[in-house]
Amino acid sequence: MGEVYSIGSRREVVRVRVVVGIKWVPNTQAVRFDLETGTLIRRGVPAIVNPHDLPAVELSLRLRDEVGGEVIAIAMAPPPASKGLEFVLGMGVDRAILITDRVYAGADTLATSYVLARAIQKINAEIGDVDLVVFGQETIDSSTAHIPAQVASWLELPYIYYVKEATVVGNGRVRVVRELENYLEEYELELPAVLGVAIRALKPRPVSLSMKLRTKFEKRLITWTNNDLKLDPRCTGLKGSPTIVAKTIDMPEVPRRREVFKARDAREAAKWIVAKMLADEKTRELLYRSLWGGRG
């Protein structure tokens, strides 16, 4: 826990040190199909901060703004990811650490979470007590949602997913609201704790020019390599990954009829769709049932 003190009023103020994890991902939305050849155009796909991490950054900043403290962003990635850390510094993150080393390359989620967890322990030991570790719920490129739970497992901390709101409640606890398929739940977790922040939980603030300038003139972005973390290379990267990608193939296409009708107007288009639904044995019965409650 960070220091607890009161500032003249009855309200207890709790400073929080929040570590927020960021992933630098290919912008999968920018991947396009080549309509001529039916293949994927994967070259030149730009990288971005995983969009689902931004609500996590926003939640971290709000907690800090509310009670004071600092937000530290971390990313385990090759050097170009410093651009992503600069982006979140521009949002108002206080400092950022790029964790980068060749021995971290090719990591699956277990090996990634191992490096992140050890980095968080180093922050805790050298910068100060970490109260909260916050991640986006999942990434747009692989969507596993593993990292928050895996980091919690290495650090043996309580954790919760799908967080929509979080408030630090004076007594060294955080209160969160989270949503399951059919339930809205409220939990209280003792700090330190790990949170997975729901997709779209909060609207991220834009990058501000003054924050960007602050980033430029003050050295707020540092790099840690394995010289700093001193991890056993058998536990990191490809070697520290129990899962192995045996092979990848392009996603097989679902066979579809691909009939495109060039209608003169909307009426004709509608008539064609209805005609196709009637002619197609896969949809005929459905249409009969929904229109007349009988079989086709």
Partner 1 sequence: MSSKIECDKLCPEWPCEQPEEFRNVWVIVEAEEGRLSEPSLQMLTPGRKISDKLGEKLVGVLVGYGVSHLAEEVIKYGADEVIVVDSEAFKTYYPRVYALAVVELARRYKPSVIFIAGTKRGREFAPYVANTLRAGITADCTDFDVDVNSRDVLLIRPPFAAILLAFIKTPFRRPQIGTARPNVFPVPVRDESRRGEVIFEKVKVATENKMRLVSRKEMARMEVSVEKAEVIVSGGKGVGGPEGFKILERLAELLGGTVGGSRKAVDAGWISEDRQVGQTGKSVKPILYIAVGISGTAQHMIGIREAIRVIAVNIDPEAPIFNQADYSVIGDYREVIPALIEELEILKARGPDAAKEYMEWLKTLET
Taking CB under 8 A as the criterion, which residues in 194-233 touch partner 1?
196, 199-200, 232
Nearest distance in Å: CB 21, partner 1? 14
Q: Does residue 294 bind partner 1 (CB under 8 A)?
A: yes
Which of residues 144, 170, 208, 213 is near partner 1 by CB under 8 A? 144
Interface characters, 229-258, with partner 1 (x: CB under 8 A): ---x-xx---xxxxxxxxxxxxxxxx-xxx
Identify the residue among 33, 170, 213, 222 touching partner 1 (CB under 8 A): 33
Coil, strand or helix at 94: coil
Closest distance between partner 1 and the C-beta of residue 162, in Å? 6
Nearer to partner 1, 4 or 270 (CB): 270
* Strands 12-14 vs 4-6: parallel, antiparallel or unpaired: antiparallel
What count of other Cβ atoms lies within 10 Å of the Cβ of residue 51? 17
Contact call for residue 31 and partner 1 (CB under 8 A) = yes
Let me know: does 48 contact 28? Beta carbons within 8 Å: no
Residues 6+ apart with CB under 8 A from 87: 49, 207
Between CA 214 and CA 179, with CA 60 as vertex, the angle to 5 degrees is: 150
Q: Does residue number 159 form part of the binding site for partner 1 (CB under 8 A)? A: yes
In angstroms, rounded to a whole number, what is the distance separating the alpha carbons of residues 184 and 198?
Answer: 13
The only residue of 145, 163, 195, 202 in contact with partner 1, by rule CB under 8 A = 145
Distance (Å, whole) CA 79 – CA 73: 15
Stretch 96-115 residues interacting with partner 1 (CB under 8 A) = 108-110, 113-114
